[in-house]
Amino acid sequence: MTFEKLLQQSLVWRGFYFITVLLVNIVLSRFLQADGAGWIYYITNFFSLILLVASLSMESGYTYFSSNNTISKHKLAWFSIIWTVLVALLTLLLVGYYFLKIKHLSASITNQYILYSITYICGILLMNFFTVLFYAQSNFFLPNLIMGILNLGLCGFIYISATDINVYNKIVDAYFIVMLLQGILLALAFVVKNKSYTSFALPNKSEVKQLLKYSLVALAGNLVFFFVYRIDYWFVRYNTNSCTSEDLGNYIQASKMGQLLLVIPQIMASAIFPQTASGAFRGDVNKSILVLFRLFLIVFAVAMLVVALLGNWLFTFVFGNSFNNVTIPLILLLPGIFGIAVLVLLSAYFSGKGKVSINVKGAALALIVVVIGDIIFIPKYGIYAAAFVSAIAYLVNLSYALWHFFRDYQLTFFQLFNFSKQDWFWAKNMLFNKK
């Protein structure tokens, strides 16, 4: 299978899944409004930090070592299941203690937080582990079909439950439970399809050492990335003088709309990482990154124009009237989101070559910009400052990564902007060529 064909398969099936994620976002936003949906996305942001630490970013190591067949996929599958069970037990203890003993919440509310944290953290953990194992086998169809169907089922459940008197609690509970169900079904699908049940085994001491050595470096980078991309949520949340709960909901929605434009780069990165790690198609990968930089630049320029012209009407029409302050933050974020779109590809490229430290250092520079800028400007300018500062930080990160890419691939800055018709022919061939 050619590299372009791999990208095509990834685009089709991961694209299907991300469309269902968008539908879930729309349905949640319409039924829960800005403050309700904002609370869900804010609390999952807190859980995502726990998830990141609990995973040790081993999904990066899984991709690297399973792609070059260094560690058996069966060993990694069983290791994933056991690790997730251990994380569930640790989450039960830590989250329960935090909300009951430190936050002094009631037992019933604490139990809700325990339910939400375990279902979300363990569900996403299983999804992360087993999707990368599927992708390392160039199987983009099955995992995304499973997750997409469950997302569609969640949307249907929300609409059916809309008239229920206790609709809010039902929607929130269903949202988190579906996360866990997706992870469990992915794990079962992988074990059954690969017949891992016939060969129970775990990585040996040497393999675990290799896995952790690679993953812990990736964890350092991902932790810094996490704060670069999400620390602004906390600054907005706790600057109550300049930001309301509705502002938080609008800002997070603007951020999520920007992240939708990262779907295609993330899909392509899921194909770039394994091929770079395995050494296959490395020349094609380098060329693809250059072409995609130029195509993304055009796409994001068009996106900014569309948002400027239609944003105020579109977002209130789709999400509801409470989302009436999404447009300006999104326009301010979009140049930075373009930076992330290219950075996603470059990060996959460097990770596949074992140069994760480049990703870490670039993210650290961006984090410094975000923290200093948010401290200075958010108290006065609110969510507009949060968006602008984040965009600048993302572009700083991109500049650092491009500098290393130029050195690695012997490129000049001007080659990035060498637009030609061949770029569009490449995209057309990748998307529509069935051979």
Backbone angles phi, psi at 119, to 5 degrees: -65, -40
CA distance 435 to 141: 18
Q: What is the DSSP string of 185-222?
A: HHHHHHHHHTTGGGS-----HHHHHHHHHHHHHHHHHH
Write down the pLDDT at residue 434. Answer: 52
Write down the pLDDT at residue 143. Answer: 92
Whether the pLDDT of residue 250 is over 60: the answer is yes
Other C-beta atoms closer than 10 Å to the C-beta of 53 total: 14
Whether the pLDDT of residue 235 is over 80: the answer is yes
Whether the pLDDT of residue 82 is over 90: the answer is yes
pLDDT band at 395 (very low <50, low <70, confident <90, very high): very high
pLDDT tens digits for 66-79? 766 788 888 888 99
Answer yes or no: are the C-beta atoms of 412 and 406 closer than 8 Å.
yes
Write down the pLDDT at residue 271. Answer: 57
> Which ranges of 279-355 would DSSP assign to H, the alpha helix?
282-319, 327-352
Whether the pLDDT of residue 268 is over 80: the answer is no
Whether the pLDDT of residue 91 is over 80: the answer is yes
Pick the more confident residue, 144 or 1: 144
Q: Average the pLDDT over 236-253 and give the result.
A: 82
Write down the pLDDT at residue 403. Answer: 87
Write down the pLDDT at residue 397. Answer: 92
pLDDT tens digits for 300-344? 899 999 999 998 888 888 888 888 888 999 999 999 999 998 888
Write down the pLDDT at residue 413. Answer: 66
Whether the pLDDT of residue 345 is over 80: the answer is yes
Write down the pLDDT at residue 9. Answer: 73
pLDDT band at 208 (very low <50, low <70, confident <90, very high): confident
The helix (run of H) or strand (run of E) holding residue 39 is helix 3-55
Question: What value does the mean pLDDT of the chain take?
Answer: 83
Other C-beta atoms closer than 10 Å to the C-beta of 314 total: 16
Q: Average the pLDDT over 409-431 and give the result.
A: 68
Answer yes or no: are the C-beta atoms of 14 and 144 closer than 8 Å.
yes
Q: Which residue has the tokens 């949906």?
A: 37
Pick the more confident residue, 365 or 405: 365
CA distance 68 to 345: 19
The helix (run of H) or strand (run of E) holding residue 416 is none
Write down the pLDDT at residue 1. Answer: 54
Least confident of 181-185, 270-274, 315-319, 365-369: 270-274
Choose from 78-87, 349-358, 401-410 the range with maximum mean pLDDT. 78-87
Other C-beta atoms closer than 10 Å to the C-beta of 71 total: 21
Q: Average the pLDDT over 138-167 and give the result.
A: 86
Q: Which residues contact 213 (CB under 8 A, 6 or more apart)?
A: none
Whether the pLDDT of residue 11 is over 80: the answer is no
Answer yes or no: are the C-beta atoms of 9 and 137 closer than 8 Å.
no
Whether the pLDDT of residue 277 is over 50: the answer is no
CA distance 411 to 371: 32
Pick the more confident residue, 43 or 368: 368
Write down the pLDDT at residue 81. Answer: 94
